[in-house]
């Protein structure tokens, strides 16, 4: 099994949980914010749906300068728009990673901000950090937003208080 195969399998497992969570988004609560400094529920869900799109930059480029682009993603206005965006980007993750060699994924990738180097890591580490871990982190935040709105939570890694496995 290649690194790409392993990442695809792990991503697809996490995508199932993410999808189940996004399917629970309450249409009438997308503007909800638990705090004035927080993203809205819809903004957070849009961000989660968008994260896998970054795979192309990590896999195809050796350098990305976040300070030279407008990285904001327009907030999707409905549960279905968010789900569609996630499905498109989840498919893109798999398509972009399929067939990539271990050697390619071990090559360095650099993140810059307006020309200043922020970090350099192997692509494989960037995929784990900026895609998988990032989705899981924000998915955890989303469970709190949903709980605050009395939305039953799906089981993700084990039973939830609202449903079994």
Is the overall model pTM greater than 0.75, yes or no? Answer: yes
User: Does residue 69 have a pLDDT over 90?
Assistant: no
The set of residues, in sequence order, having a beta carbon less than 8 Å from that of 68 and lying 6+ positions away, is 114
pLDDT of residue 16: 96
Query: Which contacts of 152-156 are long-range, i.e. CB under 8 A and separated by 24 or more positions?
Result: 152/24, 153/21, 153/24, 154/17, 154/20, 154/21, 154/24, 156/17, 156/20, 156/21
- To which H or E segment does residue 72 belong? none
DSSP secondary structure letters along 101-128: -HHHHHSEEEEEETTEEEEEEEHHHHII
Domain residue extents for the chain: 3-148
- The pLDDT score that the predictor gives to residue 68 is 86
Q: How far is CA 36 from CA 32, 39, 40, 139, in A?
A: 10, 8, 9, 20
Mean pLDDT of 7-25: 97
- From residue 20, give the alpha-carbon distance in Å to each of 5, 24, 97, 144: 23, 7, 23, 15
Model pLDDT for residues 17-67, shown as the tens digit of each residue:
999 999 999 999 999 999 999 999 999 999 999 999 999 999 999 999 998
Using pLDDT thresholds of 50, 70 and 90, give the confidence band for residue 72: confident
DSSP code, position 150: T
pLDDT of residue 164: 66
- Of 56, 58, 51, 60, the closest CA to residue 15 belongs to 51
Name which residue leads in pLDDT, 151 or 73: 151
Tell me, what's the pLDDT at 165?
61
- For 3-148, the fitting CATH number among 1.10.10.10, 3.30.1020.10, 1.20.120.450, 1.25.60.10 is 1.20.120.450
How confident is the model over 105-149, as pLDDT tens digits? 999 999 999 999 999 999 999 999 999 999 999 999 999 999 999
CA distance linking residue 132 with residue 30, whole number of Å: 24
- N-terminal to C-terminal alpha carbon distance within the chain: 29
Confidence of residue 93 (pLDDT cuts 50, 70, 90): very high
Q: Which positions ≥6 away from 27 have C-beta within 8 Å?
A: 78, 79
Query: What is the rounded CA–CA span in Å between residue 20 and residue 148?
Result: 18
Q: Which residue has the higher pLDDT, 83 or 165?
A: 83
């Amino acid at each position: 099994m290649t690194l790409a195969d392993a990442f695809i399998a792990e991503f697809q497992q996490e995508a199932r949980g993410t999808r189940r969570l996004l399917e629970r988004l309450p249409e009438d609560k997308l503007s909800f914010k638990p705090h004035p400094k927080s993203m809205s529920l819809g903004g957070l869900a849009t961000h989660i749906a968008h994260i896998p799109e970054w795979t192309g930059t990590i896999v195809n480029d050796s350098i990305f300068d976040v300070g030279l682009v407008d990285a904001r993603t327009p907030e999707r206005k409905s549960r279905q728009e968010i789900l569609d965006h996630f499905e498109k980007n989840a498919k893109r993750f798999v398509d972009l990673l399929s067939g990539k060699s271990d050697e390619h994924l071990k090559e360095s990738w650099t993140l810059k901000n307006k020309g200043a180097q922020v970090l350099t890591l192997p692509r494989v580490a960037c995929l784990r950090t900026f895609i998988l871990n990032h989705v899981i982190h924000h998915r955890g935040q989303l469970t709190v937003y949903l709980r605050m709105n009395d939305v039953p939570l799906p089981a993700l890694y084990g039973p939830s208080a609202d449903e079994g496995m």
